[in-house]
Amino acid sequence: MTDPRTTLPEGFLWGASTAAHQTEGANHNSDWWELEHLALEQGPGGHIEEPSGDACDSFHRWPEDMDLLAGFGFTDYRFSMEWARIEPAPGEISRAAIDHYRRMVEGAHQRGLRPLVTLNHFTTPRWFAARGSWYGEDAADRFARFAEAAAPVYADGVDHLCTINEPNMVAALLPVLAQAAAGTEAGGATEQLATTGIPEPDPHLTEALTRAHRRAVEAVKSHVPHVRTGWSVSVQACQALEGAEAAADAYSRPRQDVFLEAARDDDWLGVQTYTRIVVGPDGLLPVPDDAERTLTGWEFYPEALGEAVRRTAELAPGVPLVVTENGIATGDDTRRVAYTSGALAGLADAMADGIDVRGYFHWTALDNYEWGSYRPTFGLIAVDRTTFARTPKPSAGWLGAAGRDRRWPTA
């Protein structure tokens, strides 16, 4: 019998994640593209420092990105489709965009990579945003229609499909972004997490996103029953000081617990975590002054992954888990290796204790656009902002080799 603390289970997904808007570039029909340029018109001082522009030019350079990942030893690759490219106007489906993402699925298999495809990774078409975004009465129907239209992409060669990336963050931050677009500035996601925590999600958005997820699952299953569907939730390791258990529950429940519980009937559930929050009787505690921080201002806390996985397993018992994002923003690659090895040790321990985890995807493959700035570098591969030249970091070979050798990496 193999030791789950040293050997990767048979069929374990071992990959890196990307998102379309953050890597492709030139997503002109996206609501985020519009928001970025509205922010620039409003002047400096907002949470968007610069536009995404050409990003990593991965719309054209995805073969090179996949070549690198496969060469390192990764066996899986998570990427998203850009809804705004596939449906640039209501009901108008771009066959060229469908063919593009279909070629990515085929290209992944040609390189020995299993694709995990995400339908929606934060961005939506401009027309969808103009009609109320996820608040719109027909939002779930429109998202299901998109899921159906995209079926040629995932109908063959895709085993895992994620409907919505971090719906809890969408429900928490969509009102914040709306304020920013209106010129009434509010803090961005990074600032919120590092200081006052994530805003409490709008319960109406929570319901709307849950409804959209379920409608999309129905649409996918009606076309391709074998595809395993789920969504990925941002799960912070939430710790309570003595006597603050009720306050911690009150913080955690609307921000992540209800989204985890909504996945109890899904084929799998994605877990995405980076750091912890600590709750005292009077609310969230700040990151200690002497704590190591990442480039996003978050506490360096690799133990968050194991804790988040255990919490998720409690709230969605029996649902297989996939870590769809975990990583660190740092300019020091040795700290990336240290963080990731610590996170994976906690994950392996959780699996040894019987928690059903089917895969791990590192965030992210490339240094990319982190929702307002290119400063936070999460990537295993550096990208020159002028030439788009890819330069692998030592962490890429170190982490990828684990997939080839089927053994947990150690620092």
Q: What is the pLDDT of residues 354-368, one digit of tens each?
A: 999 999 999 999 999
Q: What local confidence, expressed as pLDDT, does residue 154 receive?
A: 98
Residues 364-398 as b/e (b if ≥16 CB within 10 A, e otherwise) read bbbbbbbbbebebbbbbbbbeeeebebebbebbeb
Q: How many domains does the chain have?
A: 1
Q: Is residue 175 part of a domain?
A: yes
What percentage of residues in the chain have a pLDDT greater than 70?
95
Beta pairing, strands 13-17 & 276-280: unpaired
User: What local confidence, expressed as pLDDT, does residue 188 receive?
Assistant: 47
Alpha-carbon separation of residue 150 from 96, 181, 223, 248 (angstroms): 12, 29, 10, 40
Q: What is the pLDDT of residue 196?
A: 64
The catalytic site residues sit at 166
Give the integer Cα–Cα distance in Å for 226 and 207.
27
258 lies in some domain: no
The Cα–Cα gap between 12 and 15 comes to 10
Scored b (16 or more CB within 10 A) or e, 327-338 reads: bbbbeebeebbb
In a domain, 197, yes or no: yes
Cα separation of 296 and 190, whole Å? 6
CB neighbourhood size of 350 (10 A): 22
User: Which residues form the domain of 391?
Assistant: 13-234+328-405
Mean residue pLDDT of the chain comes to 94
pLDDT at 186 (0 to 100): 45
pLDDT of residue 194: 54
Inform me whether the pLDDT recorded for 193 exceeds 70: no
pLDDT of residue 47: 78
- Is residue 187 very low, low, confident or very high in pLDDT (cuts 50, 70, 90)? very low
Strand segments (E) across 175-251:
228-234, 237-240
Is 193 inside a domain boundary?
yes
The predicted-structure confidence for 22-34, as pLDDT tens digits, reads as follows 999 999 999 999 9
| Domain at 24, CATH number | 3.20.20.80
Range with lowest mean pLDDT among 90-94, 186-190, 222-226? 186-190
Is 360 inside a domain boundary?
yes
| Residue 316, domain member (yes or no) | no
Mean pLDDT of 31-52: 87
216 or 5: which leads in pLDDT: 216
Answer whether residue 171 is part of any domain. Answer: yes
Tell me the per-residue pLDDT of 373-408, one tens digit each, with 9 for 90 and over.
Answer: 999 999 999 999 999 999 999 999 999 999 999 999
Within-domain flag for 410: no
* Tokens coding 338: 């240290």
Q: Is the peptide bond before 364 cis (omega within 30 degrees of 0)?
A: yes
